[in-house]
Homo-oligomer: A and B are copies of this chain.
């Protein structure tokens, strides 16, 4: 396992720099397409230094997953702490995720990549994100019970929203194939369209107030 000697001088502990580069590369280029050599040289190191901190590529992936899940959770923390409810809350969270997808595409990419890799990587990510998922699931249940949203299976609703958001955020090539631009304005337009779609699916017209 990693040495994790985080009390280090200099421009940041080496292991943290490695993790940062790994998150970037695993999330954007993918696990297979990331060689320890290229990762090391991008940091001005050699592969052996990486293997000093992380005893194998698999272990580096595991540590990267932990970090990615932590950052994802942290990014949502603030918004989730606000006492919003109903559709407004869904909208606010989706907006945070889209902002994240724009600013930190590697984070969303990592989630995608890890689900692709299968166990044990997927299992690890799933466990790390479990609290978040449980929270979301519980939220939907409450909203439905309160009659503010249409009845759906919370898990499958989550799954659909997850697929839609990550797809919209990371299936860049599919979007291009559909003739979609990639500039910031189109990005916001897509976000708003997805929100409208979700709202139409979740909020029954009788209860809408806008």
Report A's interface with B, CB cutoff 8 A: 30, 32-33, 115-116, 118-119, 122-123, 125-126, 129-130, 133, 150, 152-153, 155-160, 162-164, 166-168, 171, 173-180, 189-190, 193-194, 196-198, 200-202, 204-206
Residues of B within 8 A of A126 (CB): 173-174, 176-177
List residues of chain B with CB within 8 A of the CB of A193. Answer: 152-153, 156-157
Contact present for B179 and A155 (CB under 8 Å):
yes
Residues in B neighbouring A119, C-beta threshold 8 A: 173
Q: How far is the CB of A130 from chain B (nearest CB, A)?
A: 8
**Nearest Cβ distance between residue A125 and chain B, in whole angstroms?**
8
Determine if B155 and A196 form an interchain contact, defined as CB atoms under 8 angstroms apart. Answer: no
Beta-carbon contact of A201 and B204 below 8 Å: no
In the complex, chain B residues whose CB is within 8 Å of the CB of A150: 200
A174 to B133, CA, bound (A): 11
Please name all residues of chain B whose beta carbon is closer than 8 Å to the beta carbon of A180 when the two chains form the complex: 155, 159
Distance between Cα atoms of A167 and B162 in the complex (Å)? 9
Known: A116-B116, A171-B115. A157 touches B205 (CB 8 A): no
18 residue pairs bridging A and B, Cβ less than 8 Å apart: A116-B116, A119-B173, A122-B174, A123-B173, A155-B180, A156-B197, A160-B168, A160-B194, A163-B166, A163-B167, A163-B171, A164-B164, A166-B167, A198-B201, A200-B201, A200-B202, A201-B201, A204-B205
Residues of chain B lying within 8 A (CB to CB) of residue A125: 177
Rounded to whole angstroms, the CA-CA distance of A157 and B157 in the bound complex is 16
Q: How far is the CA of A155 from the CA of B178 in the complex (A)?
A: 7
* Given known contacts A115-B174, A201-B198, A201-B201, A159 and B168 CB-to-CB distance under 8 angstroms: yes
Q: How far is the CA of A163 from the CA of B130 in the complex (A)?
A: 22
The chain B residue sitting closest to A163, CB to CB, is B167
Q: Is the CB of B160 within 8 A of A164?
A: yes
A159–B155 CB distance below 8 A: no
Task: Report chain B residues within 8 Å CB of A156.
Answer: 168, 190, 193-194, 197
